[in-house]
Structure 1
Amino acid sequence: MAELSRFFNDVEGDERNYQANDFAQFFTNFLGNGFFNGLGVSAENTTNTIIAPGSAFIEGHEYTNTSSLTLVHDSADSTNDRIDRVVLRLNRDIDVRRINAFIKKGENGSDPEPPELTRNDYVYELSLAQVKIEAGKSYIDSSQITDERGDIDLCGRVSNPEKITDQIGRVDIKRPDQRASDYIRGHSVFYIHGEDHTNLLKEWLDSVGFNPGDVGRELTNIRVYVETVASRADTGTQTVTVFDRSRQYDFQIYGRFHRTSNAGFITVTDWGKWHEEVLIYEQGENENGEYIRYTDGTQKCWGVPFALTTTRPTGPLYRDVEIWTFPVPFVNTKGLIVTGDVRSFDRWVSMTSLSRTSVNINAVGTSHSESAWDVYVQAEGRWRR
């Protein structure tokens, strides 16, 4: 049958009969496999493990454990360890038709592995925990239990099913000029990359004012994650995260931007302007001092203190000079400000010969002195345009 529609009441001459599998298929449209709550596995210093009350969802079928459930593990081998798993098993065989918790016993060995989960047309298993059965040990304690409920490949929390989330980057994407009312009510996300949506990716980057070339990357290296909360009409908040696709670049975050919209009594409202959340892009230190680069392009540098005298006569004053090479270069000298401080009432600091990579630090005084005083310097400008 090419089309299915359900569920409807019977009318005379037109019976509508539905199977449990019809309902299970329906529920998988909006609920993925996993646990809802509880179902933690604990030890009681015997060969038993205890499953706490809780509930789960497997392939459209609901499971609930209403009280603490005791499971008994087989005794340990005298020589080799083994790893058991505590699992929930959905069995759709016509003679079974239920979900049960049970122990899936592993194999003894010098380097044991947990048993594989069974997942086929009839049986589907979720792992709640691994339990290491140590050789020669007559009881199980908490150190032998590894909780696996949080692993989405083995169990995970019930959430949107893959049939929904797999389409986020293909179907639910929007343009940056679309208003909050164009988004679904509540929370929504989508992901954009250059291979499938080159022009759209560029639109979003242009919207927030980010140029991949400023960080030495190509458009195809960049990804954008858009998260939106829309409540009604054109009211909502939106966050855009721009990051690198490459593990080599540690999936570097290049910027995070926020904007809001509030309909009020106006029927049509566009988004407000973007506000950048300034994050640390890079930081470090070397023999020339310390530096921090921020995602908005700002760069700050602090030099290692210079010990300077005032022994060189310059007219009626005396000075000393040292070249400070910045820990990392600035992109240019536009807006680059270098300041210094010397802890003395009759000396001060001036800067000359400023470039994007270095500056001359001058200690100036009113009298000749061979006593060296520490000069503290810092610089602030931009590491990218």
Structure 2
Amino acid sequence: MAEIYKFFNSAPGDERWHYASDFAKYFSSVLSAGLLLDDNEEYGLQVTLDNGLQTSVALGEALIKGYSYQNTTPLVLTHSLPETTNDRIDRIVLRLDLRNQNRFIKVFIKEGVTSATPIAPTLQRDEYIYELSLAQVRLRANTASIVANDIKDERALEDVCGIVQSLITVPISIFQQQFDAWFNNQKLLYETDITEWQINEKAEFETWVESLHDILDGNVAANLASRITTVEQELTTHKTEDAAVKASTDKILNDFESTKNLSITRSNKDKEGIFTTLTYKRKGDNTLYATSVLSGGATPKYTTRTIKFYDVDGVTLLKTTTKTLLYDVDGDWLGEV
């Protein structure tokens, strides 16, 4: 097995040759394919309606398999006329073509097939060509113009496009799995608490019924009236407490039934470009839900991730979970416990 090392300067009598493919292979090993964020943490190359059967692609940058792309002026594309009877769905794609006669990354219209139930054309991803989908465009039958609502933005979809991410950081899907596990665990805890409360209440009721034998031996009317008053007061208290707990519980569970109810903010970027802090807030009232902070060790191999969950008021700390990050002998991230 050979030792391979690259990107050293040449010296007299020792020339070092490096190809574009060498640099691309390196970058593709540490950065995923997708769109690059600008200085405002926004991504470009948005497809919008221009005029008639024309669409426009905005400024922006991308990285595909280690090769760089940049669009510096709005790019206008013209779609072919749809048929008179059925619709068609085109895709606006950013295509990397490694074939010798091309060697480029350019934007193309990938025309779909006319059908009563049209579908978007499949992206080509093989040894020589790799496509990212910027948008789907539906062309309505027997028309000569495109409607803005018929342009479906696909830039944020990881399976067809997505944003460039470091391949040495923890994927968002891992956080999703952990949230799902926490949610299921919390749901089980609440159900267990309710079951235990019902069992305790039943036992107290049976004890109370048993005590009636002693109570009725004395002043029956007075003792019974006093006992009824006490039970009514206790029942009112239980109902009030139960309603408050249920309202708080329902709010928490509803917030996390789907991550679409949460907004995510990244901060504290280190020298390797890794955001060490993720802040999750409820979209409805912008209250704090959770924070996830990387610590320990040294970038990019942090050793600890601390997650804190907050109540519906966004202030009261409900739970703190600490995870230990694991790496293999090569320094590649394996998971966390």
| Residues 109-141 of structure 1 deviation map (CA, whole Å, 9 limit, x = unaligned) | 111111111111111000000000110111012
Residue among 73, 76, 82 paired with 2:88? 82
Task: Establish whether residue 57 from structure 1 lines up as the match of residue 50 from structure 2.
Answer: no
Secondary structure of the 1:293 match is: helix
Count residues in correspondence: 218
Name the residue aligned to 1:44. Answer: 50
Does the Cα contact within 8 Å between 2:34 and 2:161 map onto a contact in 1?
yes
Does the Cα contact within 8 Å between 1:130 and 1:147 map onto a contact in 2?
yes
Name the residue aligned to 1:147. Answer: 153
Secondary structure of the 2:81 match is: coil
Higher helix share: 2
Partner amino acid for 1:254?
A: N
| Residues 331-368 of structure 1 deviation map (CA, whole Å, 9 limit, x = unaligned) | xxxxxxxxxxxxxxxxx843xxxxxxxxxx4569xxxx
Q: 1:122 to 1:6 in 2, by over 3 A?
A: same
Partner amino acid for 1:157?
A: I
Q: 1:74 to 1:299 in 2, by over 3 A?
A: farther
Does the Cα contact within 8 Å between 2:48 and 2:56 map onto a contact in 1?
yes
Q: 1:122 to 1:189 in 2, by over 3 A?
A: closer
Name the residue aligned to 1:10. Answer: 10
Name the residue aligned to 1:66. Answer: 72
| Residues 288-312 of structure 1 deviation map (CA, whole Å, 9 limit, x = unaligned) | xxxx9289999889x9xxxxxxxx9
Q: 1:6 to 1:297 in 2, by over 3 A?
A: farther
Q: 1:41 to 1:190 in 2, by over 3 A?
A: closer
Partner amino acid for 1:58?
A: I
Partner amino acid for 1:4?
A: I
Partner amino acid for 1:55?
A: E
Question: What pairs with 1:338-377 in structure 2 (closer than 5 Å)?
Answer: 349-350=229-230, 361-362=231-232, 375=236, 377=238
TM-score (normalised: structure 2): 0.56
Secondary structure of the 2:30 match is: coil
Question: What pairs with 1:197-236 in structure 2 (closer than 5 Å)?
Answer: 225=178
| Residues 248-292 of structure 1 deviation map (CA, whole Å, 9 limit, x = unaligned) | xxxx4325xxxxxxxxxxxxxxxxxxxxxxxxx27xxxxxxxxx9
Shift in Å at residue 189 of structure 1?
8.9
Does the Cα contact within 8 Å between 1:81 and 1:108 map onto a contact in 2?
yes
Does the Cα contact within 8 Å between 2:50 and 2:76 map onto a contact in 1?
no
Secondary structure of the 1:55 match is: strand
Secondary structure of the 1:89 match is: strand
Question: What pairs with 1:1-385 in structure 2 (closer than 5 Å)?
Answer: 2-36=2-36, 37-161=43-167, 164=168, 225=178, 243=181, 252-254=183-185, 281=187, 293=190, 314-319=220-225, 349-350=229-230, 361-362=231-232, 375=236, 377-378=238-239
Q: 1:295 to 1:42 in 2, by over 3 A?
A: farther
Secondary structure of the 2:82 match is: coil
In 2, Cα distance between equivalents of 1:61 and 1:151: 20
In 2, Cα distance between equivalents of 1:111 and 1:77: 14
Secondary structure of the 2:181 match is: strand
In 1, Cα distance between equivalents of 2:78 and 2:97: 21
Does the Cα contact within 8 Å between 1:320 and 1:363 map onto a contact in 2?
no
Does the Cα contact within 8 Å between 1:48 and 1:70 map onto a contact in 2?
yes
In 2, Cα distance between equivalents of 1:50 and 1:242: 40
Does the Cα contact within 8 Å between 2:99 and 2:128 map onto a contact in 1?
yes
Shift in Å at residue 44 of structure 1?
2.4
Does the Cα contact within 8 Å between 1:293 and 1:300 map onto a contact in 2?
no
Q: 1:298 to 1:12 in 2, by over 3 A?
A: farther
In 1, Cα distance between equivalents of 2:225 and 2:184: 45
Q: 1:128 to 1:298 in 2, by over 3 A?
A: farther
Q: 1:150 to 1:297 in 2, by over 3 A?
A: farther
Q: 1:34 to 1:377 in 2, by over 3 A?
A: same
In 2, Cα distance between equivalents of 1:4 and 1:125: 30
Identity of aligned residues (%): 36
In 1, Cα distance between equivalents of 2:154 and 2:174: 28
In 2, Cα distance between equivalents of 1:90 and 1:96: 9
In 1, Cα distance between equivalents of 2:174 and 2:181: 11
In 1, Cα distance between equivalents of 2:73 and 2:58: 7
Partner amino acid for 1:82?
A: R
Shift in Å at residue 93 of structure 1?
0.8
Secondary structure of the 2:225 match is: strand
Does the Cα contact within 8 Å between 2:33 and 2:65 map onto a contact in 1?
yes
Structure ID, larger Rg: 1
In 1, Cα distance between equivalents of 2:173 and 2:82: 49
Does the Cα contact within 8 Å between 1:319 and 1:363 map onto a contact in 2?
no
CA RMSD of aligned residues (A): 3.7
